[in-house]
Structure 1
């Protein structure tokens, strides 16, 4: 009896001194910087590494378009930093390739998929972000339902190529705000599209900036938890590197919901900056503090 009482007291003391594991650790994330505006992670890799990030997220279409000597030189400099390309955004060049509407060219799309996915595999990419607003937005007067079906066909084709070639990445559908795209604007819509595609290589990402712009409830994360493979973030008002909560309550709910769903993946800053060296350190500190405080 005395031993049992002693064990109960020890358990109670442990609960006081060391709270639950999830509460103590917060959200465990890997942090990266994505291509956006003036920010080019391949070019800025040394600066990003010096700030303490885990990986970079360059644009896939941009990287593919580089002359091979230039691309190899950038990759050589990247290798010296110790960072890796774990994710890529800017999947398709919207000015050259259309996925929806009457001018969609399946042969051209398939050719681009073969070349771009092969490059992504060569780089060791794990998630390709499918934002590509210019490629996926449909022209005025074109039936939305047909555009939706065209996107499903594209995503199934991409998924099939990944499976057939035994590549190691998945496609993450990104909800985009309405000023950028007229289709798939919320986490709920991205989740619906992924479920209709029903392919193991097609999932979704959540971008905090787009979510807040569209006034979507951060609880959408809870409903889509089985599909989320990646996250992006930017400060909501100016789309800059996030540095402080500054009255934005959705930061807190965003990170709390990540803890609730057990998310332990990557979070990329996809934001404007004219001073990456000055912005990336404070942003990383802020994000780690938010993640650690998640409850």
Structure 2
């Protein structure tokens, strides 16, 4: 009987290993998509999704609308892990026109709603809100932004929210357009609730080396990705992300990778994206 079991195990071992490998998740994968696409997002393999602050948890939403959103979030098959576009474009957070008390009042209300929605991370991209006048001194802007960041971080701590400062391409803003420059600000804010998002799409657009991820390894809490030419889902054009994924591995990054590439895709494309990205992650993490 024992010999038969050993023989059976011998023949089944490759199948068992293949099944485990196919289902092993080295890094959680999420998708930024409208909550209305929750079912297809889940069916594609994603366990996490991201939405916008404006649509889900903004202080500008009526209490009735926010309660409706909470019900949608509660019923969703995927977990709403993060919201992006933290600030509306007209609310300046850098440069000469910052109204600090208005900003701090806004974030207090925002983080209160984020806590109710059980959102873990809010991504601070907001390119228009942080765009500087062309002649504004960049060092002055950083000093001012760091001081504001410290106050925002203190409010985030009160509600147990993590802020993830995002590097943006220069097409979207003229302030903090690299992981390196965003990491410098995060270090100066020096607060556990004010951390870094390494957006690989923006890094590739700006020609930034994967080494910047390694250099900021102690700050990373979030990562986003899309194909560089047209911001498509990974797999549509066939981009190779492995140099950046190797940097994440070297940095011992344990957080999720979120695909942020628009939402006008078929169920088949979304499922292929999940498989394509999972395969590249496996290639990196198993070698």
Provide TM-score, normalisation by structure 2. 0.85
- Determine the C-alpha separation between the residues in 2 that align with 1:144 and 1:261: 29
Does the CA contact (< 8 Å) of 1:241 and 1:273 recur in 2?
A: no
Residue number in structure 2 paired with 1:257: 247
Provide TM-score, normalisation by structure 1. 0.83
SS in 2 for 1:216: coil
SS in 1 for 2:223: strand
- 1:58, CA displacement in angstroms? 0.9
- 1:82, CA displacement in angstroms? 2.8
Q: Which residues of structure 2 form unaligned runs of 5+?
A: 1-20
**4+ residue runs over 6 A deviation:** 23-27
Does the CA contact (< 8 Å) of 1:129 and 1:172 recur in 2?
A: yes
Which of 243, 265, 282 in structure 2 is aligned with 1:292? 282
- Determine the C-alpha separation between the residues in 2 that align with 1:131 and 1:119: 19
Residue number in structure 1 paired with 2:179: 187
Does the CA contact (< 8 Å) of 2:197 and 2:223 recur in 1?
A: yes
CA offset digits 1:37-86 (Å, max 9, x no partner): xx42x222222122221111111233214444334334323333332211
Residue number in structure 2 paired with 1:30: 28
SS in 1 for 2:36: coil
Deviates more, 1:262-271 or 1:146-155: 146-155
- Determine the C-alpha separation between the residues in 2 that align with 1:194 and 1:256: 23
Which of 261, 264, 270 in structure 2 is aligned with 1:271? 261
- 1:276, CA displacement in angstroms? 4.7
- 1:24, CA displacement in angstroms? 11
Residue number in structure 1 paired with 2:68: 73
CA offset digits 1:115-156 (Å, max 9, x no partner): 111111112222211111011111122222222122212211
Counterparts of 1:196-275 in structure 2, within 5 Å, are: 196-243=188-235, 246=238, 248-249=239-240, 251-275=241-265
Residue number in structure 2 paired with 1:144: 138
Counterparts of 1:14-93 in structure 2, within 5 Å, are: 28-34=26-32, 39-40=33-34, 42-63=35-56, 64=58, 65-93=60-88
Residue number in structure 2 paired with 1:101: 95
CA offset digits 1:194-216 (Å, max 9, x no partner): 11111121110111100000001
Does the CA contact (< 8 Å) of 2:198 and 2:222 recur in 1?
A: yes
Q: Which residues of structure 1 form unaligned runs of 5+?
A: 1-22
RMSD between superposed Cα atoms in Å: 2.3
